[in-house]
Homo-oligomer: A and B are copies of this chain.
């Protein structure tokens, strides 16, 4: 038995399809009584409007697409959660596509979403200006998440890496640390470079006499571990380490502890991200927390605005979500 169509409902209720449509969409232009009759008929037949037909005529899909890079772990899950929640509260569906390794795959994914979505949430390392101009349908509302794009052509939203890093540096300075070494992330990584920038700025403005010290890293725990060994070899020894992400901080922590250093007495350690593990390492890691779900939610909200007011095209609008300092024992000895 094929699914009931609007015609079936019309016949069942003894009215025309137009009236059914009217009754089901807000019920204007229809008597309360007729509306009731139609509603009952629809219910009886378990009528569900055919989404495709509606999309075709309406030119709205009530769906937004989320294009994400291949992303393991918590960040992705939190982001999706925030997006999904915000989307649902606006009555929008969510079409996701992750794991596109190269620009070509991303472009394909983008093309495949053509016409299936009213708007796009895009987070991709390949999303430079050229790529977008090339692959993005011109009039599709889009919000960029955490892209390295500086042009004013698109709406964008990102985490406040810079501000977060400054928070950390200021925290360490407030503890009296003066020799703060920074462990860098992968070269070219936007988050990493922004965090480094925050470190530089903050140090320059708050403690111009303190030396700037950088060590190479690539966000991996191993690279943090290696950096830890380099820290141990530095003379005079730094009194604080700020790693561009938690995993490196954790690796560094291990190296320092193995060498017999006391943390935080001999050297303080700070990370970035507040991964779940951060509170479980010994000592628990001071870090910068980013409300990732909120990042997703805000991106969705921004997109929602664009959908509601397509004319009012505030393209270049940018927003950032705040980062927050979480102090744990790796920087401040337990009180008492």
Which of A's residues lie within 8 Å of B, judged by CB?
A: 3, 48-53, 55-56, 61, 63, 70-74, 76-78, 80-81, 84-85, 88, 93-99, 109, 111-116, 137, 221, 250, 276-277, 280-282
Contact residues in B for A49 (Cβ distance below 8 Å): 115
Contact residues in B for A73 (Cβ distance below 8 Å): 74, 77, 276
Known: A98-B80, A282-B282. A50 touches B115 (CB 8 A): yes
Contact residues in B for A94 (Cβ distance below 8 Å): 95-97
Known: A48-B115, A77-B77, A280-B277. A99 touches B72 (CB 8 A): no
- How far is the CB of A292 from the nearest CB of chain B, in Å? 11
CB pair B48 A52 closer than 8 Å: no
- Provide 5 A-B residue pairs closer than 8 Å at the C-beta atoms, listed in order of the A residue: A48-B114, A74-B74, A76-B77, A93-B112, A94-B97
- How far is the CB of A124 from the nearest CB of chain B, in Å? 15
CB pair A280 B80 closer than 8 Å: no
Q: Which of B77, B137, B280 contacts A281 (CB 8 A)?
A: B280
Contact residues in B for A61 (Cβ distance below 8 Å): 52
- Select from chain B the residue with minimum beta-carbon distance to A75: B77
Contact residues in B for A114 (Cβ distance below 8 Å): 48, 51
- Select from chain B the residue with minimum beta-carbon distance to A84: B98
Contact residues in B for A3 (Cβ distance below 8 Å): 115, 137
Q: Which of B51, B71, B95, B282 contacts A115 (CB 8 A)?
A: B51
CB pair B112 A99 closer than 8 Å: no
CB pair A96 B99 closer than 8 Å: no
- Select from chain B the residue with minimum beta-carbon distance to A76: B77
- How far is the CB of A142 from the nearest CB of chain B, in Å? 16
A144 to B281, CA, bound (A): 37
Pairs of residues from A and B, 8 with the lowest C-beta to C-beta distance, nearest first: A52-B55, A77-B77, A52-B56, A51-B115, A48-B114, A277-B277, A51-B116, A76-B77
Contact residues in B for A98 (Cβ distance below 8 Å): 80-81, 84
CB pair A96 B80 closer than 8 Å: yes
Contact residues in B for A93 (Cβ distance below 8 Å): 95, 97, 112-113, 116
A94 to B66, CA, bound (A): 10
- Select from chain B the residue with minimum beta-carbon distance to A282: B282
Q: Which of B53, B76, B277, B281 contacts A56 (CB 8 A)?
A: B53
A276 to B88, CA, bound (A): 30
A116 to B81, CA, bound (A): 21
